[in-house]
Amino acid sequence: MAKGEVGALAGQAIADARSHGDLSENAEYDAARERQGFIEARIGDIESKLANAQEIDPRLLDAEGRCVFGATVDVEEDGGEKATWQIVGEDEADIKAGKISYSSPLGRALIGKESGEKVEVQTPGGVKRYDILDVRYE
């Protein structure tokens, strides 16, 4: 949905609430104004991120086999369970899609490490240990 469409929808909600009479005691109007403020702030946040975004191709980094932003990392947990994660930005992180944020506990543990190294990550359930099996740049 485009920025103009979102603004129009928020404006329409306010107009609908106004049509219900006295604005001094109109909870619907207050809620619509609050939603509009939230939407406008969110749009500003997204526009700022887009304006400052930079595409990073991990294949062009001088990473020499190290885990860096954008790298895809194969790991094996102590129990033998294997997983593959790509290290991405905070807004791209999606654990179900195999994408972890560079700022997550696991992401921070992996950054700078190489294939063959081990990392430990403190989780709510205790410490988890991983062997780094492979690091690649796709």
For residue range 115-134, list pLDDT tens digits in order.
Answer: 999 999 998 889 999 999 99
Residues 40 and 62 in one domain: no
Identify which of 64, 77, 59, 54 has the alpha carbon closest to the alpha carbon of residue 133.
Answer: 77
Q: Are residues 89 and 104 in the same domain?
A: yes
Of 65 and 84, the structure prediction assigns the larger pLDDT to 84
Angle between the N-to-C axes of helices 27-52 and 3-18, in degrees from 0 to 180, rounded to the nearest 10: 170
Range of the domain at 48: 3-52
- pLDDT of 22 strictly over 60: no
Cα distance between residue 15 and residue 37, in whole Å: 15
Token output for 70: 């954008």
Terminal alpha carbon distance of the chain = 31
User: Is 136 exposed, middle or buried (CB count within 10 Å of its CB: 0-12, 13-18, 19+)?
Assistant: middle
Alpha-carbon dihedral sign for residues 6, 9, 13, 15: positive
- With cut-offs at 50, 70 and 90, classify the pLDDT of residue 1: low
Number of structural domains in the chain: 2
pTM: 0.62
64 and 130 together in one domain:
yes
Say whether both 48 and 65 belong to one domain.
no
